[in-house]
């Protein structure tokens, strides 16, 4: 059995903390880590790690490094003993800290089982993490920040992927038949949800199917420079600060052609002709 009984009251001192200790059922632990796609290259932080079962499972079943953050020293002791028995002490550690004061910028995955007011307090800090960081929780969500994925196995399990910040104006350039193709793109963003428009030759045009997942972005515009040979341009790429770049496919089927594209963010200023 992974977690041996230890002669420590599991709920000791919990009344003094913002989040009482309530163990997450093991099938839910497994589903959280599976949904987050945890693997050997990941660093998993569990905020309010309790008896350590999420961190230990991440190391034992998925080969990840795990760090538990917990205020209750009795639970820290229990977690370390369980990790020793599970033979994963070399891949896990437990910090007796307030997770509101903990640096978890090195995390690739953060797991949470926290009450709604605490989730709400953490939301903005989570959004400041590196794009692509995966956040996974059960029972309680981030209010109006809707999850990227949700599954239900005994409990609701939610996954968020921290989105890059892409709101603003971008100058997009790509080489396509007929020479360089350039347009301005305006993006509006709420969490991972995007909308906006493309401005071609000074006129606003459609920006279709914009999607953002972490630092990965995709969208479609229509190349209408020649009305007799219009074709959709399917953009996919990555965001790195104020630059995006990737591949764009023009057309479909046996008329597809692939090119490179790049976009640079420009300083906010009124568009031509607007006040």
| Predicted confidence (pLDDT) at residue 9 exceeds the cutoff of 50 | no
Last residue of a domain, one of 161, 182, 217: 161
Last residue of a domain, one of 107, 130, 161: 161
CB proximity list for 50: less than 8 A, separation 6 or greater = 21, 22, 23, 24, 68, 70, 75, 79
Helix H or strand E encompassing 215: none
pLDDT digits (tens, 9 = 90+) for 48-97: 999 999 999 999 999 999 999 999 999 999 999 999 999 999 999 999 99
pLDDT digits (tens, 9 = 90+) for 112-152: 999 999 999 999 999 999 999 999 999 999 999 999 999 99
CATH number (domain holding residue 214): 2.40.128.120
DSSP letter string, 74-142 = HHHHHHHHHHHHTT-TTTEEEEES-GGG---TT-SEEEE---HHHHHHHHHHHHTSPTT-EEEEES--B
Last residue of a domain, one of 104, 135, 161: 161
CA 106 to chain centroid, in Å, comes to: 14
Contact criterion met (CB below 8 Å) for 173 and 164 = no
Residues 182 and 152 both lie in one domain: no
Of 28, 22, 90, the C-alpha closest to 56 is 90
Residues 34 and 136 both lie in one domain: yes
Q: Between 13 and 27, name the one with better pLDDT.
A: 27
């Amino acid at each position: 059995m992974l977690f041996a009984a230890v002669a420590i009251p599991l709920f000791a001192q919990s009344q003094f903390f913002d989040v009482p200790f309530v163990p997450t059922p093991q099938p839910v632990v497994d589903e959280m880590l599976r949904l987050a796609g945890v693997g050997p290259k990941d660093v998993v932080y569990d905020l309010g790690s309790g008896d350590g079962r999420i961190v230990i499972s991440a190391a034992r079943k998925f080969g990840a490094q795990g760090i538990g953050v917990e205020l209750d020293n009795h639970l820290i002791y229990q977690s370390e003993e369980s990790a020793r028995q599970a033979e994963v002490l070399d891949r896990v550690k437990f910090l007796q800290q307030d997770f509101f004061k903990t640096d978890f910028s090195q995390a690739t995955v953060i797991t949470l089982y926290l009450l709604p007011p605490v989730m709400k307090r953490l939301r903005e800090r989570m959004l400041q993490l590196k794009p692509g960081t995966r956040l996974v929780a059960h029972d309680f969500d981030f209010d109006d920040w809707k999850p990227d994925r949700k599954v239900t196995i005994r409990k609701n399990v939610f996954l968020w992927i921290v989105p890059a910040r892409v709101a603003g104006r971008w100058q997009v350039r790509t080489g396509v038949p007929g020479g360089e193709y350039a347009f301005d793109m305006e993006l509006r963003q709420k969490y991972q949800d995007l909308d906006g428009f493309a401005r071609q030759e000074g006129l606003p045009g459609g920006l279709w199917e914009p999607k953002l997942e972490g630092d990965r972005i995709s969208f479609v515009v229509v190349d209408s420079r020649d009305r007799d040979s219009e074709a959709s341009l399917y953009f996919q790429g990555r965001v790195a600060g104020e630059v995006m770049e990737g591949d764009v496919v023009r057309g479909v089927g046996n008329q597809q052609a692939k090119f490179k594209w790049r976009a640079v963010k420009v300083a906010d200023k009124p568009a031509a002709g607007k006040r």
